[in-house]
Structure formats: C-alpha cells, structure tokens
Structure 1
Amino acid sequence: MRKLDNGSLFRAILVFRIANALLTRTFFQADEFWQALEPAHLMAFGYGELTWDWKFAIRSYAFPFIFELTYRLVRLVVFMSRWLMELLSELASELLLLLFPSNEFVRLVVDDLVVLPSDMANSLEYIGVIYGPKVVMTLIAATGEYYTIKLIQKLYLITSKSSKENDDEGGKGGSLQGITKIATVLSLTNFFNCYLITRSFINSFEMTTTAVALYFWDWTGGLTIESSEFTKSLVIAMFTCLQRPTNAFIWIVLGSLLITNMIKRGTDFKAYFILLRKIVLCFMAVFLLNVSIDFYFYGEITIPLINFIKFNVTSPLANFYGSSPWHFHLFQSVPIILGYNLLFFVPGMFCHLSHKKFTSFATNPFFQIKMIILLNVLVFSLTTHKEFRFIYPLQPFFMTVSVFALHKLKWYQYSRMTWILPLASVVLSLLVSSFQESGSIEVMKFLHNEPFDLKSVGFIMPCHSTPWQSYLHRQDIPDLWAITCEPPLHLLGDADATSKLQSYMDESDHLYANPARFLYENFPPVFKKELRSPGKVYTHEWPEYLIIFEQLDDLIMREYLKDSSYVEYTRFFNSWSHWDSRRAGDIVVYYKRPSL
C-alpha cells in the first residue's frame, strides 16, 4: 500500500464504501427504514406512515431530516429534468410534424414523445429515492472511518516517545504511516462495518459523529480546552447525545477524566470558568438547533429526550421489544462488531499500548479508552432490551485498541496469511449484504413496478418486515396495510405495568399464536362475500396482492387459499435461514384473480 495523504485516504475510503453501499440490497432490521427513511419520505413527498415512536415523540428528527433534504434535492433535480425533457420533446415533436406532416409513423413517435418526459421523470425520481440515501450514508460512513483513523493517528503521536516519526519504517508499520495502513485495513475489512455502516441506521450516524468528536477532544488533560477544536468536540458530542441519549455514557466518562486530570495538573481556576462557559454556550446552541428541527417536524415545541426517558427508563415498556441475558453484549455484540479484530482487541485490553510514560493512569489516553469500553459495555448489559448495534458507537474505541495491539504485536510482519482474514471478512459481509433477506427489498420494488391501477396490497407477516414508502414510493394504492405491533403505551405510569406487560399481545402476536383463528376473526370468508357474518366488521379485507413469508404459507396459507381466487403470482428469495422462524424462507406474493 502506497503512502496516503489525508485527501487520498478519504477518497480511498469513499470509493470502497460506495461499492459497499451499492452492493448492500438486503433488510437487516426495521429501524433502518422505519425510523429514518419513512418519516423523511412522508415530509418530503407528503405520503407515508409513521410508527408509534414518532406519534409518541420519542425520537429527534435531526437524523431523518438529512434524508428529507436528500429527497427534496431529488425532487428538485427531477423537476428541472422534466422541464428540460418537456421542452426538448415539444421542440422535437414540432420539428418532426413540420418535416413529415402526414407520416403515420412520425405521429406515433410524436405520441410517444408526449409521455416520455413523464415516464423518464418518474423513473429518475424512483432511482433518486432508492439511491439518494445510499449516497448520503456513504458520505457519513466514509467520514466516520476517516476520523476514526485520524483519531488513531493523533493518539499515536500523543503516546509515542517522540513526536518526530521515521517514515522509513512506514512499510513495516513502525511509523505514523505504518499505523495508518493498519488502521485503514482493519476498518475497511471489518465485517460489521461492511454490513452496517452504509445502512440508514442512526447508530451508524452516531458512530460517525462520535468518531469526529473524539478526534477533536482534548486528550492532553486540559491543555487545549480553549481551542476551537475542543469547541467542535463539545458541539458534536452534545448534538449526538440529543439524538441518542445513551451516547452520554461515553462523554460522562471522558468529561470526568478530563476534570480529574485538570485537578491533578493544578490547573488555574480561570480554566474551569472557560470550560464551564463553553459547555453552557455550546449546549444552548445545540439544544436550540435541535428543538428547531423537532418543532419543524412535530409542529410544536417537543423535547424527545423526556419521552425517551419516560419510555425506556422510568417504565418497563422497553421490555416489550424483547429481553436478553446480561452477557449478550459481552459474548455476542462485542465479537460480532469486532469480527477478526477480536484477535487483537483481547490482548490489547490487557497490555500497555503506549510507548510513553504518563504521570498517572488517568492521563493515559489508552486507559481512558479502556475505561469507556468497560463501563459502557457494563451499562448496556444492565438494560433488558439489547441489540448489536446499540454499542456500535464504541467502534472507534474497539478499532483503536485493536490497531495499537496489532502494531505492538507485529504479527503482520511474520505471517504469509496476512490478507486471508481481511479478504474473507469482506467477501462474507458482501455475500450477506447482497443476498440474506434480499426478498424484503425486492418485493417492494416489484410492487412499485406493477400496473398503476393496483387496488389493494396486504402484508400478513410480522410487523415491519419490509420497508414501506421509502421503497414502494406509490401513493395511488387505495388500500395498503400490514399487520401491526403497537406497544402498550396505555401502561405508561401504570403501577402494575410489569405484570400486565407479560400478558399483552399485539396484532402480530395474535396472528402467530393461532393463525387459523386470527384469519377467521379478522378477515371475511375468502371464497364468497355472501358468507360474511351479518353485521360483523372485519379488521381487514382480502387484498388484490397478498404478501406472506414461506413459513406461514407452509403452515396454513397454501391450504387455506386452495380453491379460492388466489394464485401464487411470484416469489422472492429472502433467506437461507433466519433467527426468527416466522420470517424463514422466501417471500410469496399471491394475486387475487378478478374474474373469480
């Protein structure tokens, strides 16, 4: 690998992540779409659906706002393109009719030219809706990795015996250039980075803003708190905490250690006043910006942080989305996020990574990083609802420990198999990103391209198993519905919420507890309308297009729809296997023939 300057490094990361984003065409978790793209699509295009999170105002709109701006830019480009195409089409039509006034073929061409601008504009808009967010997330992802590497470079200079580096050793990993190469390889080939970083999860955004804020942070123990860089760090960190309140666990540790080091250093009282003033002014500016964005979305002064605490901290309702054992993050999340970097991370947590002696443990940046990792994993382990991506913002710390450990161990100098693990990691992640759960995406693209007189579409599957209007992008379907899974918000403030939560069942639960009973109670007879129970109001009508997972098809639906007007229309490969058996197999599309 040749020597990379900062500009070349960012471009290399960006190119790699562009390919990564384009090859990612699968469904991982619903939040990728429903908590980012769907609210943005609703605001930009005027149609779509919001989950309970947005109705209850538990989330800040700042992250989806980025995608709304993207969609609005797409609309502007489409508008300008359509205007230009209509102008060219009109000029071409008039010229053809002038030259060939009575030619029948020319008249057919002119008729096609009339509808061409509209057709091309619709196609261009859909391409923009699908790929616009991918471009944005590519830029965000590349920025996050770039600043993670810059952070590693900065820490290398701080913890080296001498700030003057010998570039002659760069090829062997002995200098700043060498450690940059190690960091670049470990980051770009990390399995979880390849799988998640370009997806529209707020956790990916949170990881990026955390990495940027960490780079500008004062790692000297209070010597640079008056700098503009430290101000940037405060602003970005506070903004991140307003998007994801749990991010505060990182900055509470860093802030406490900063104050501790300032006290040990015997810092002048004036410095504390400067620090306090900066904190207050930065928070006021960030808070005002965030409230303004949320006011734009909610239409009233809203502080999602309060509702977030009310739902996740002061009530047991977060358990509605599942609970995991205390060791979930330790033995599942951390290994999955690290991938093969775990081989270097584990010894790195137990060895001295700095070449420089510090006056105390607290002044050593690596001690601070290890404390942040341990305390954050501990705090997240105490919560009942756990997901891998919740601790993804710790990736800059994981990467730092892994890079410096590998640099210290120098295994890369002696093994001829240096590239096997990174290559295998990338190949595996791209395979999973391209195929596993691809049907959830493909079925929405299929529905988008179906005839425009489509009357109704229904999804009988676990709630939020597919994207919605961010991939369907059609407002002309009169009846569009899916099985829901609303949490028991009525239990907020209920003293018996914990016990009542155990027996609460949402619509998805009722469906899979007894599919036959659910269909009988919520749908009219599938064969003839005259078999309906007199006066009974049904939750759903049988749709023109019925979308289900293969598991439900095998369980009941194939036999249930036998001899009805439904026929299997098409199916899409979705998964080889799935942790949720309800989502196993292909996605099957049934079509109800109008003639029967």
Structure 2
Amino acid sequence: MYKQRKAPRVLQSVFASFADLYLYKLSRLIYDARVARWTLFCQLVNWFMFYCITRTLVNSLETVLTVVGLFYWSSFASSSKKHPSGSRKLALFIASLACAIRPTSAITWLYVGFVDLWQERNRLKLIFLEVIPIGLSVLGLTSILDWWMYRSMVFVPLNFLKFNFFSAGGDYYGTHPWHWYFSQGYSVMLFTFLPFSLIGIFRSKDWRFSGLIAWVLGVYSILGHKEFRFVLPVLPLSLMFSGYSLAELSDSDSKRKNTKASSRRPSRAQVAILFLVATNVPMALYMSLVHQRGSEDAIYYLSKQASDGKVKSVLFLMPCHSTPYYSSLHSNLPMRILDCSPSDNKGYVDESDRFMSNPVGFVSTMLENSSLPSHLVMFESEEKHLRELLVSHSYKEVKRFFHAHFKVDRDLQASVVIYSSTIPT
C-alpha cells in the first residue's frame, strides 16, 4: 500500500529532475556554466518550485516538457556545432506533447514559434514539413489513446478550450482581478527571488525570454479563473534570470576580493545565499509537510482501514475535491463527494455550496433520503455544527487530523475529522 501511494510521486520526482538538468543546460547554452550553476541553485531553493514541481499535477509535467523543449529549440537556434540540427524537430515533438496534455501550453509555444518564424528563411518549409506533420502526428496518437480510454471519439483539446476559453467555465470555480498574477500570484511564487529576477532581466537584456514570461502572464491574466500552478512553466525562466543576477554579484565580489576590508566580512553573494535559503527553505518545508496536510492524512487512514475491511463506504462532507480520492485510497468501495459540476442554468447552486451555506439542513436531508455510509469526512469548521446531528444518527468521531494553522479561501479549516457509524454492518 505504501509503494502504491508513493510510486506516482517518485515518478514525478524523476521527471522533475529532468527539469533541473535541462534548465541547467539551457542557462549554460544561453549564458555560460557560471550562470548555469547559480540557476540550478535558484531552481532547487525556490520554495514554490520545491512545493509544486514534484506534485502529480499536469502543470508539473507541462513545466518539465517546457524546459526540455526550450533547450532543444534554443540548441537549434544556437550556431554551436555541438547541437544536432534535428534538435528543432525534437523540440517540436516535445512542444506538441506538452500541448496535448495541457492545451494552454500553446500559449508558450505560439510565442516561441512566432518570434523565431520572423528570422527563419524557409518559413513554409518549417510550417508544412515540420510543425504541421509533427503536430498532427502527436494529435493523432493522443486522439487514438483518448478513443481507447473513453470508448468513443472524444477530442479532449477542443473540449478543454471550449470549457476554459470559449465558455469561461473555469470562472465557476472563482475569479481574480486581471492584475492578480502580476500583483500577487507570480510574486508569491518567486518570493524573495523577485528582486534578483528583475535585476537579471534588465542586466542580461535577454528580452526574448523575459518577453515570453510577460506574454504568458499577460495572456493568463485575461482569464477570470487564475491559479498559481497555471504559470508554473515560466517560473524556471524567472529563476534563470535570478541565477544571472547572482552570477554577476559573485563576479563583482571576486573582483573586490583583494581588498582587506572586504575579506573581513561576508561577500554580497554569500549574504544573498543566506537570505534566499533562510527565506525559502522554511517556507518550502512548511508548505510541503505541514500546511493543509490533514486531507492526505485522512485518506491514508481510510486507505489502511479499508485494506483491513473496516470501511464499507465514505461520504466526504466538504467542498468538492478537498481530498485525494481513489488514486490514494486503492480500494474498490463506494465513495461520494459533494457535486460541484458547472451548470449553464443561471442561479444554480451546487451541492458543495448548499452544504457550506447550511450544513445541518443539507446533511439532515441527505441522511434521511439515502443509505448511510460507514464513514463521514469533514472539516472541523463544519463538524462543530453537525456533531449533535451525527451522534443522533449513531455516528462517533474516530480520528482527527491537523490540517492548517490559518485560513486560505474559507473559514479556518484547522483539522479534518472522520466519523464512523456505530451500527453493525
């Protein structure tokens, strides 16, 4: 059971290591080995990269493919003989794969393609003999895979675009102001690397990659629904600029090394390292190991109980998708989450919102009109309202897991509580 839980994360960690490797290679290709070493330092220390890149999210894999693809694309653009001419075809294949698993990755690759298209002599050859054949090949393979899995013809990229772009379906899950990525989201992701990234952008004068960052943030800002993970693919590029800034700082320190005054105190690069490590490492560890861990602890507990035959069915009385699901339970038993599917009907209130607005009334109706599950899972903020009702229906608390020290989107969800039915089954 332990191996089943950890295997997907170990696999994503392997993928993440390729992002580290190819970001190093990309920065060495564009600048030099000195900048590459500092870039790798930034990549490994940044709190959000540590927190997100190893998670089994499609955005994490998209980030890996973006970094690898940019390296091979830049390799072709480089005049160096060390890089084979076929690297552009490989880059196009990787870009197509990234767009297949996450269609919004096209935002990145449209920019990269159009910037280089103006400098390309054989534009028609590039478009008709490389871009279109490779793109259609990957699209065809993924369509066959979707047909095999869904047992019907489903064009996933089109459905994705229809829901997220043409109908703004993502807005159903919340919206942010247009400037959120610039004023809050991306700044939080960079955290204390932000000033170093800005300095690196202006000092390097590499407007191609800085323009890519601005383009991606700008396009995503048009959409109402915004999340940190959506812009994860360009975070490594910002960290590369941080690496450039730190490399220049280190070089400046080396030139001043001969003076006695400078030898008695830490160099500016050493102070910067200490500052970045001291601000990012605790944040990375807290967010990865402590914050909002209750939902995972709860599902792991249920997984163990289910493997011992002590769980017959589970009802999650919490906002939808608050916990892992079958991918972490690894048992074939009935489970139910509160529905939060988008609807075209104006004024429609889904189950999740109805529960949050009136927990007691919602659960009373549910328990009267459906079979009782063996286990209930909920946050403490709702459990305190439901305690008497659950006891009256022969439920008792069996486990409580710490979840968070502070609230994020809703009331403080300090812990996750599991109730079990005392009625013999």
Using the alignment, how far apart are the partners of 1:381 and 1:411 within structure 2? 37
1:209 equivalent in structure 2: 65
Aligned-partner Cα distance in 1 for 2:195–2:400: 41
Instruction: Give the aligned partner of residue 47 of structure 2.
Output: 191
d(CA) in 2 for partners of 1:295, 1:228: 31
Select the residue among 353, 360, 365 that pairs with 2:204: 353
Residue number in structure 2 paired with 1:367: 207
Q: Deviations over 1:184-218 (max 9, x none)?
A: 21110010111001000111100000000000114
Quick one: distance in 2 between partners of 1:212 and 1:595? Answer: 56
**Counterpart of 1:256?**
114
Given the alignment of the two structures, is residue 309 of structure 1 paired with residue 161 of structure 2, yes or no? yes
The one-letter code of the counterpart of 2:275 is L
Verify: 1:151 aligned to 2:26, yes or no. yes
Distance 1:220 1:261, change over 3 A: farther
Q: Is 1:387 aligned with 2:227?
A: yes
Cα contact 2:108–2:216 (8 A) shared by 1: yes
Moved over 6 A (4+): 222-226
1:325-367 deviation digits (Å, cap 9, x = unpaired): 1111011221122122112112233x2416xxxxxxxxxxx21
Q: Aligned pair in 2 of structure 1 residues 513, 410: CA closer, same or farther (>3 Å)? A: same
Alpha-carbon separation, structure 2, partners of 1:584 and 1:390: 25
Partner of 2:379: 549
Secondary structure, aligned partner of 1:454: coil
Residues 76 and 84 of structure 2 are in contact (CA less than 8 Å); yes or no, is this contact kept in structure 1? no
Change (3 A) 1:563 1:393: same
Instruction: Give the secondary structure class of the aligned counterpart of 1:591.
Output: strand
Is 1:432 paired with 2:287? Answer: yes
TM-superposed CA distance for 1:300, in Å, is 2.6
Q: 1:182 aligned to 2:11?
A: no
Alignment partner of 1:417 is 2:271: yes
Distance in 1 between residues matched to 2:335 and 2:401, nearest whole Å: 20
| Deviation readout 1:14-33 (Å, 9 max, x if unpaired) | xxxxxxxxxxxxxxxxxxxx
Shift of 1:453: 4.7
Q: Matches of residues 291-330 of structure 1 in structure 2 within 5 Å? A: 291-330=143-182
Task: Describe the shift of the 1:462–1:229 C-alpha distance in structure 2 as closer, same or farther (beyond 3 A).
Answer: same
What is the identity, as a one-letter code, of the residue corresponding to 1:512?
M
**Is the contact between residue 456 and residue 480 of structure 1 (CA under 8 Å) also seen in structure 2?**
yes
**Residue 513 (1) aligns with residue 391 (2):** no
Q: Please give the alpha-carbon distance, in whole angstroms, between the structure 2 residues aligned to 1:240 and 1:333.
A: 23
Any idea what the Cα deviations from partners look like across 1:430-488, whole Å, max 9, x if unmatched? Answer: 1221111111111111112224153332211111111111111111x3x4322221111
Indicate the residue corresponding to 2:184 in structure 1. 332
Q: Which residue of structure 1 lines up, in the alignment, with residue 103 of structure 2?
A: 245
Structure 2 gaps of 5+ residues are: 254-266
In structure 2, what is the equivalent of residue 449 of structure 1? 304
CA deviation after TM superposition for structure 1 residue 572, in Å: 0.8
1:570 aligned to which of 392, 396, 399: 399
- Residue aligned with 2:119, SS: helix
* SS, match of residue 346 in structure 1: helix
Q: Which amino acid aligns with 1:205?
A: L
Aligned to 2:414: 585
What CA distance in whole angstroms lies between the structure 1 residues aligned with 2:62 and 2:163?
21
Partner in structure 2 of residue 122 of structure 1? none
Counterpart-to-counterpart distance in 1, 2:74 and 2:314: 55
Q: Within 5 A, what are the aligned runs for 1:274-289?
A: 274=126, 276-289=128-141
Q: Is the 8 A contact 2:193 2:276 kept in 1?
A: no
Q: Taking structure 1 as reference, are residues 544 and 583 closer, same or farther at Cα in structure 2, changes over 3 Å only?
A: farther
Instruction: Name the counterpart of 1:88.
Output: none
Give the aligned residue type for 1:441. E
Q: How many residues align?
A: 406
* Structure 1 partner of 2:263: none
Paired with 1:380 and 1:523, the residues of 2 have a C-alpha distance of: 42
Match of 2:14 in 1: 139
CA 1:485/1:292 → structure 2, altered by over 3 Å: closer, same or farther? same
Query: CA–CA distance in 1 between the matches of 2:252 and 2:227?
Result: 33
1:261 aligned counterpart, secondary structure: coil
SS in 2 for 1:397: helix
SS at match of 1:579: coil
Secondary structure of the 1:455 match is: coil
How far did residue 275 of structure 1 move?
5.3
Which 5+ residue runs of structure 1 have no aligned equivalent? Answer: 1-125, 157-175, 355-365, 492-496, 525-537
* Paired residues of 2:146 and 2:153 also in contact (CA < 8 A): yes
| C-alpha displacement of 1:322 | 0.7
User: Structure 1 590/353 Cα, relative in aligned 2: closer, same or farther at 3 Å?
Assistant: same
Partner of 2:3: 128
Q: 2:317 aligns with which of 439, 460, 463?
A: 460
Shift of residue 386, structure 1, vs aligned partner? 0.3
Percent identity at matched positions? 28
SS of residue in 2 equivalent to 1:217: helix
CA contact (8 A) 1:240 1:247 kept: yes
Checking the alignment, whether the CA contact within 8 Å between 1:567 and 1:590 is kept in structure 2 is yes
2:247 aligns with 407
* Structure-2 separation of matches of 1:471 and 1:583: 25
Cα distance, 1:579 vs. partner? 0.8
Residues 516-537 of structure 1: per-residue CA shift (max 9 Å, x gap) = 321233222xxxxxxxxxxxxx
Alignment map for 1:78-89 (pairs within 5 Å): none
Tell which has more relative contact order, 1 or 2 (C-alpha 8 A, sep 6+).
1
SS at match of 1:546: strand
For 1:25, the equivalent position in structure 2 comes to none
